[in-house]
Amino acid sequence: MTTVSDHCVLVLRLAAPLQSWGGPSRYNRRETRPQPTKSGVLGLLAAAEGRDREASLTDLVGLRLGVRVDQPGTLLRDYHTYSDYRGIPLLSAKTNAKGQQTRTTPAKYTGVTQRFYLQDAVFVAALQGPKPLLESLEEAVRNPVYPLSLGRRSCPPAGPVSLGLRSDTDLEGTLKNVPWQAGNHRRAQAQGATVSLEATVEDPAGDQLAVDVPDTFDLKSGTRFGRRAVRHLWVTLPTGLAQPDTGTIGQSDHDPFTLLGW
């Protein structure tokens, strides 16, 4: 029989100049979701442990994920060009009778792609599951086999990732108690004693679905994404500032326009 004491929560701080949590987009347009995906977070953990891409993800997929948006950041579109290093024309989308891709006609030597990133974002990710597994993962995150990245290899984290393990609590309780992790410039914008932060918790009774559960990271077979039920909520945390004497009861620092970068 599994008890609450057999489980714990691993807390991660996901902060970097650039992050990119891929969605269903492929090919020449690679978008990012506004929050870390389960696929991206599990990929980080698998890299920390040094797992091969063909390794099973069964134990990691079973972990429940919660994410808190401490600093939403802003969207960046990065312009890319690409070409064949051999100096030959690029392949076209057309195929010949044998099913082989043909070269572009007229010859095209340079293509354009678009990559989207989150700039200056900070998230708190919490994973709940069996204590022995999370203890092993926490040690791996502190001493990773492969370099850690936040969604893409070009997005290394800024500072330590692990915020440690928490016992006798659940995802929602963890997200309500971990101190605010925003950067100094975001903290300088706070005007009250509290700040309201958006959060998403994996919950079987959740009323929305996220399609981001990977079956494998094997490049040969490709990744198919499964669904998980999630629930959205707001959590209120102290900013460390004294409450201004405005005479307004219940005033908080929640400003929906900050999500738009205004």
pLDDT tens profile 101-154: 888 888 888 888 888 999 999 999 999 999 999 999 999 999 999 999 999 999
| Global confidence as pTM | 0.83
Which of residues 4 and 107 earns the better pLDDT score?
A: 107
Judge whether 171 lies within some domain: yes
Q: 38-49 and 131-142 are packed helices; what angle lies between their axes, rounded to 10 degrees?
A: 70
Q: What is the pLDDT of residues 158-169, one digit of tens each?
A: 999 999 999 988
CB 116 within 8 A of CB 32: yes
Q: Which run of H or of E encompasses 10?
A: strand 7-19
Unique residue bearing structure tokens 């405005």:
246
Contacts (Cβ under 8 Å, ≥6 apart) of 196: 234, 235, 236, 252, 253, 254
Token readout for 239 is 């900013």
Which of residues 52 and 262 earns the better pLDDT score?
A: 52
What was the pLDDT predicted at 50?
Answer: 96
Judge whether 93 lies within some domain: no
Token readout for 69 is 């948006």
Judge whether 46 lies within some domain: yes
Judge whether 190 lies within some domain: yes
Residue 229 and residue 252: Cα distance in Å, rounded?
A: 29
Judge whether 82 lies within some domain: no
What was the pLDDT predicted at 1?
Answer: 44
Residue 117 and residue 152: Cα distance in Å, rounded?
A: 10
For the chain, percent of residues with pLDDT exceeding 70: 89
State the CATH number of the domain containing residue 32: 3.30.70.2660
Q: What is the pLDDT of residues 37-84, one digit of tens each?
A: 999 999 999 999 999 999 999 999 999 999 999 999 999 998 888 888
Lowest-confidence range among 31-45, 151-165, 175-189, 213-227? 213-227
Q: Return the SS3 of 138.
A: helix
The residue type of 156 is P
Task: Give how many domains the chain has, as a whole number.
Answer: 1
Judge whether 168 lies within some domain: yes
Judge whether 141 lies within some domain: yes
Judge whether 88 lies within some domain: no
How much is the average pLDDT of 240-245? 68
Task: Give the range of the structural domain holding residue 43, as residue numbers without chain letter.
Answer: 4-77+117-260
